[in-house]
Amino acid sequence: MQCKFIAKGEPCPYGAACKYEHDIPTFLKNRGEDIGPVCPFWVLLGFSYSPQNAHGYCPMGLNCRWAMSHTSASFEPIEKPQAEQTPYVELNTFRSIPLQIRKKTYVFQFDSWKQNAKNTPEIDASGIDIRETPSSRSFAAIGPILPPDRAPLDFRGKIYIAPLTTVGNLPFRRICVELGADITCSEMAMCGNLLHSCASEWALLRRHPSEQCFGVQITTGKVEDAGYVCELLRREGTVDFVDLNAGCPIDAVEKAGAGAGLLTKVGRLKRIVRCMLGSLENVPLMVKVRTGDHENTSHRLVPQLQRIRGNRGNRVSGVIIHGRTKQGRYTKSADWEYIKACAKSQDADLPRLQVIGNGDVFDNEDYWNRMEDGVLDGIMIGRGALIKPWICTEIKERRHWDISAGERLEIVKRFCDYGLEHWGSDAQGVDRTRRFLLEWLSFLCRYVPIGLLEHPQTMQQRPVAYVGRSELETLLGSRRAEDWIKISEMFLGPVAEGFTFIPKHRSSAWVESEPK
């Protein structure tokens, strides 16, 4: 790899001791040809290019896989004057925080939220010892504090895109926002990994400025870990709410006492929520649950969450209910009648929790049929947004959109442009963008164009493979990884010889037949 300083036309501070390539002609010879004639970062293409949208520079310099489009004959970077450049901005970068935590130099506010965590029983209802290991951290007030006055969190009538592990990344969320999503949330982050300064975990919390209402989803089985992370988010982050995931069915998460494991440890869940409320202060808290572990029990949990108060008198703002049990995973249809029963189970004498339903919403009719009686405050959309991110547009315009293959490909292209902005336009950034694009294409291919159907597709249907109205439409509907790779090569260049891809989220979304 080319030294990043030399790549940007700057002297390398390490000189001869630098382990990266300094000889530009040698680097360019070994690097191979550019992927294309125009750097997506330099011009910020997207759906509709205009000179005003151009960044006017590329931070990757010669390491960019489109480097020759912004490099002179003498290998100097070509940039607009600095006053005309449009810097790329992301929020929640937390640049120095992980290092401070690792070196134990970050000073926490060790005040009433910690006391709130201590004043809890040492044995929960199941007989399990839940005492925490004493921390060696030091504590005092330091750093910026969010303003005390904050508008109440209002989910009523809003379209909320679920935190989707692996595929709910920042470039995907940008696409959803532009297609009509109102609320977005980070992928689920493990509190333990954050407190151990795991860089990839902290990267999950990044936010794009276009995300007008943005939350961070965390999970943990330890009370103090929840308190520390919430304090970090309140003081150092830019978040509109925090979401505690008490419904993740992944076995490794449950075995750690987090996610859906909290559904059978209600005492521990309540202590975590109480501690989070104390640590978050004025930042709203949401709790995501399933209908239960192996049977429906959340109608008893919702009133208990409603009664919890933080040490400043603040309460849980709302609960998100996935309409399946933990054991049910994603194999059965979501139970929306039970979700509404949970919403009605609240104590009328206490402030009402906002209740968000989740599960199997795949078109505007699904959305409005579940919202029309006014029992629910909003709906979270998960896999439906992965398969057809334009579902947000369909909902707001109350119509079925027979989107063309060309329009779908433009969405894919825009994801690639945003991925190169987020992960970088060098070889590593291209590889990451391709990886996450291929993961997303394993969902996008499940969409069947409405123009080919007598009735709109539903989430639980397993469609047969089909021949589309054009070669491109057939290609976009292919369930073959080789075809997904072919789509990625349209925008990210050819893959290395022998490259293969196996999706992380395998699914039986198709019947076993091929188009003829």
d(CA 92, CA 75): 34
- The shares of helix, strand and coil residues in the chain, as percent rounded to the nearest 5, are 40, 10, 50
d(CA 356, CA 304): 17
d(CA 323, CA 85): 47
Q: Verify whether residue 248 is a known catalytic residue.
A: yes
Q: Which residue has the tokens 């409603």?
A: 306
Judge whether 501 and 442 are in contact, CB under 8 Å: no
Catalytic residue among 3, 64, 248, 416: 248
Phi-psi sector, 498: left (phi>0), alpha (psi -120 to 50), beta: left
Alpha carbon distances (Å) from 128 to 88, 293, 362, 411? 49, 18, 41, 50
Report the length, in residues, of the chain: 516
Angle, nearest 10°, between helix axes 405-423 and 427-444? Answer: 140
Q: Taking CA 146 as the corner, what is the angle to CA 140 and CA 148, rounded to the nearest 5 degrees?
A: 105
Helices (H) and strands (E) in the chain, counts: 20, 9
The CA R_g of the chain, rounded to the nearest whole Å, is 24
Residue 366 CB burial class (10 angstroms; 0-12, 13-18, ≥19): buried
Which residues are annotated as catalytic? 248
